[in-house]
Amino acid sequence: MRWAELALFLVPFALFAAWRLAAVTARPQLVWGTLAIVFVLAAGTVWLGLSRRMDAGTAYVPARVEDGQIVPGHAVPRGSTAAR
């Protein structure tokens, strides 16, 4: 296992422990501010996911290299010959 993977796995646990320790000794404003920030980040994540989703009945064509140029990934209608 790589060290980076282990660190990425352990970061949420360390952040939770730090939050719990801070919540015991912190002022209520700090706790509510932290919760507000977490809510704004979660709402932003949901908004980004909804705004970047593909329409129903489409298939994703991954990025590829054609004639030395990078063609970005895109969505095409299902059953289209370009979807292959």
**Which tens digits make up the pLDDT trace of 13-36?**
988 888 788 777 767 787 788 889
Say what angle helices 28-51 and 3-25 make with each other, to 10 degrees: 140
Q: pTM for the full model?
A: 0.49
- Tell me how many domains the chain contains: 1
Which residue from 61, 58, 62, 54 is spatially nearest to 77, judged by alpha carbons?
Answer: 58
Within a domain: residue 68? yes
Domain assignment present for residue 84? The answer is no
Q: 51: domain range?
A: 3-78
pLDDT value at residue 15? 86
Q: What whole-number distance in Å separates Cα of residue 41 and Cα of residue 43? A: 5
The verdict on residue 72 lying in a domain is yes
- In-domain check, residue 14: yes
Distance of CA 58 to the CA centre of its chain: 22
- 13: Cβ contacts below 8 Å, ≥ 6 apart: none
Residue 20 lies in a domain: yes
State pLDDT tens for residues 26-77: 677 877 888 899 899 999 999 988 888 888 889 889 999 999 999 999 889 8
Structural domain contains residue 83: no
Residue 9 counted as domain residue: yes
